[in-house]
Structure 1
Amino acid sequence: MIGCGSVTEVKSGPAYQKTDGFELFAVMRRDLAKAEDYARRHKVPHFYDDADALINHPEIDAIYIATPPDTHEYYALKVAAAGKICCIEKPMAPSYAACIRINDAFKDKNLPLFVAYYRRSLPRFLKIKEWIDQNKIGAIRHIHWQFSKPTNDLDVSKTYNWRTDATIAPGGYFDDLASHGLDLFVFLLGTIKSAEGTAENRLGLYTAKDTVTGKWTHDSGATGFGTWDFGAEERQDIVKIYGNEGNITFSVFGESPIILERDEETTSLNIAHPEHIQTYHVQNMKSYLVGASSHPSTGKTAAHTSWIMEQVLQNNIKVINN
């Protein structure tokens, strides 16, 4: 594992350790003392401050890249050159062009490439997909996502945060958070053929955008609209899928009930996330690698999500804050 940040502490690292047939053999962090601390706490046998040493270790078969997005391509190309399997944290890279370069490198070596859009593997969203595939709400007409959150201490204090650095995440928290939802919507409703939007920096707290609106159209003809406000008074996360025979309501990040409404009847289900939220994503990688199933989140699907985000952000609005 390259990178030992917060995402790996509970969400992902233990999922690799607890998946039968997988072993978390080594971790790398540029700060060797922090790498050693992580390895000690998680009982990982090896630790490095040199990515090349980890990538080229003869006993390592696969690499999980869990660094900020601006280094994903750099490390991924090294992994491909070493001829090893790879999983990259989301978003896959800061640009669609970088995603294509990564995909090409793994395709040339005929190597599996996964991206950690783990919501595609979570039971609550698989249930929603089941409802859609079973035609529970008829033909899908539209999907709408309203997401907002207040600023946090890092924003207000202007402490450095890669998620609000325009050179790494041009859309700010949109890149980190909205990518999850947009990727999920493609999983649920199919490929998106067109997208556009506007992005603004209204608060002037950091270099990236803090308010985004977007609209898109799926190949099926279903339309979508989203609003993302990262300086709002309160947190909201509401998605509604409209069919010609009913609706489905849920949240992307919360664990509120998923709700199916049709024929004047309402079905409400509580489906909790696993303790380590990437568990099913990692187990699905194992299943794919032993030839038992496909995997829902690949370099190809993740590149498509990056393309959508880029289309939404490219018509951004520049706002001068006095």
Structure 2
Amino acid sequence: MTRKPDQINWGIIGCGNVTEVKSGPAFNKVDGSSLIAVMRRNREKLLDYATRHSVPKTYESAEALIHDPDVDAIYVATPPGSHREYALKVAAANKHCCLEKPMALNFAECQDIIAAFEKTDAQLFVAYYRRSLPRFNKVKAWLDAGKIGTVRHINWHFSRPPSRADLSSAYDWRTDPQVAGGGHFVDLACHGLDLFMYLLGDITEARGIARNQQNLYDAEDAVSACWAFGSGAMGSGFWNFGARESVDEVVIHGSEGAIRFSVFDQQPLILDATAGSEMVEIDHPENIQYFHIENMIQHLKGGRRHPSLGTDACRVSWVMDRILAGSL
């Protein structure tokens, strides 16, 4: 096939719901990037996806896509239980890789993946795309400018009612620990914990308590945790997936003020500081992974460092392992 100069050609393993709007279309919107191949075992769904998204090549075998000579980089958009398997195959082919989050089932699997890529010339990214979003980079700018003084504590309250899938008897991989590494906590909280480390530095200590309060599935549905950053700042959070109301609120407390925002909801960013207050609204792009993908292309072309490399994402899995250790 004809290749544009300096173009990175992508293939997707697992073209499911997460790739429909969040990521898939952005691979063709970002300059220097093109989505040329997709893989899915269900042939009917595979061809439907390729037709709707104008993808020229289709595969029912992950190995065949990985070894396509026209594919430079592979986005693994499958559940976490298969990330290690596919990542090791991508590394063996010496091709760039982006893994969906969380990076793998646990910290040990993440270490295996990193070790494999360290033996190659290929780059390893993880789709913690909030690090690339203008919304959260505004929060980082406030922090870097010392708008709230020295950061003392961050707290995240996240709760929601059980979903229809939770209440039904139908299988949901997101609440199968063997496939997802845990339940909704692992699926969702990883985004916030990763973001907090982007904003405030590495978490160096973490502990928690997790329970299955509703017994709707095998995984935890209620988690409380506390942690410490290398900077000396502290953190705490609780996540409950059986509450009456939906709440998503983060508060960063500093010596000279506070910052409030939501991890998932597009609520205003609020700065309340001794030196003055500010409220900012920044919408997400149509394809929420657009800036994440743009940063990958820039990284691969020798430009700016991508904010979510495998070594960054591995830390999140370590934190979640610590929080869930021995709790269920």
Same fold (TM over 0.5): yes
TM-score, normalization by structure 2: 0.95
Tell me how far apart the structure 1 counterparts of residues 295 and 75 of structure 2 sit (CA, whole Å). 15
In structure 1, the partner of 2:235 is: 224
2:19 pairs, out of 8, 12, 16, with 8
Tell me how far apart the structure 2 counterparts of residues 171 and 57 of structure 1 sit (CA, whole Å). 33
In structure 2, the partner of 1:280 is: 291
2:57 pairs, out of 16, 30, 46, with 46
Deviations along 1:147-166, whole A, 9 cap, x unmatched? 00111111111211111012
- 1:284 maps to a residue whose letter is N
Tell me how far apart the structure 1 counterparts of residues 131 and 259 of structure 2 sit (CA, whole Å). 17
Q: Tell me the number of residue pairs that the alignment of Structure 1 and Structure 2 aligns.
A: 317
Deviation at residue 315 of structure 1 after TM alignment: 3.3
2:303 pairs, out of 268, 276, 292, with 292
2:126 pairs, out of 111, 115, 119, with 115
**1:182 partner SS:** helix
Please tell me whether the aligned partners of residues 196 and 315 of structure 1 are also in contact (alpha carbons under 8 angstroms): no
Alignment of 1:85-104 (within 5 A): 85-104=96-115
In structure 2, the partner of 1:70 is: 81
Tell me how far apart the structure 2 counterparts of residues 80 and 264 of structure 1 sit (CA, whole Å). 50
Tell me how far apart the structure 1 counterparts of residues 169 and 190 of structure 2 sit (CA, whole Å). 23
**2:259 partner SS:** strand
Please tell me whether the aligned partners of residues 225 and 323 of structure 2 are also in contact (alpha carbons under 8 angstroms): yes
TM-score, normalization by structure 1: 0.97
| Residues 1:195 and 2:206 are matched in the alignment | yes
Deviation at residue 170 of structure 1 after TM alignment: 4.2
| Residues 1:204 and 2:215 are matched in the alignment | yes
**Unmatched runs of 5 consecutive residues or more in structure 2:** 1-11
In structure 1, the partner of 2:153 is: 142
1:57 pairs, out of 68, 72, 75, with 68
Deviation at residue 264 of structure 1 after TM alignment: 6.9
Tell me how far apart the structure 2 counterparts of residues 167 and 135 of structure 1 sit (CA, whole Å). 43
2:163 pairs, out of 133, 139, 152, with 152
**2:33 partner SS:** coil
Please tell me whether the aligned partners of residues 247 and 261 of structure 1 are also in contact (alpha carbons under 8 angstroms): yes
Tell me how far apart the structure 2 counterparts of residues 235 and 315 of structure 1 sit (CA, whole Å). 28
Q: Moved runs in structure 1, 4+ residues, more than 6 A?
A: none
Comparing 35-44 with 169-178, which one deviates more in the overlay?
Answer: 169-178
Please tell me whether the aligned partners of residues 166 and 209 of structure 1 are also in contact (alpha carbons under 8 angstroms): no
1:265 pairs, out of 276, 290, 315, with 276
Deviations along 1:130-169, whole A, 9 cap, x unmatched? 0000000000000000000111111111211111012123
Tell me how far apart the structure 1 counterparts of residues 106 and 261 of structure 2 sit (CA, whole Å). 29
- Sequence identity percentage: 54
Tell me how far apart the structure 1 counterparts of residues 179 and 205 of structure 2 sit (CA, whole Å). 24
Tell me how far apart the structure 1 counterparts of residues 41 and 313 of structure 2 sit (CA, whole Å). 27
Tell me how far apart the structure 1 counterparts of residues 98 and 217 of structure 2 sit (CA, whole Å). 30
**Unmatched runs of 5 consecutive residues or more in structure 1:** none
In structure 2, the partner of 1:185 is: 196
CA RMSD of aligned residues (A): 0.9
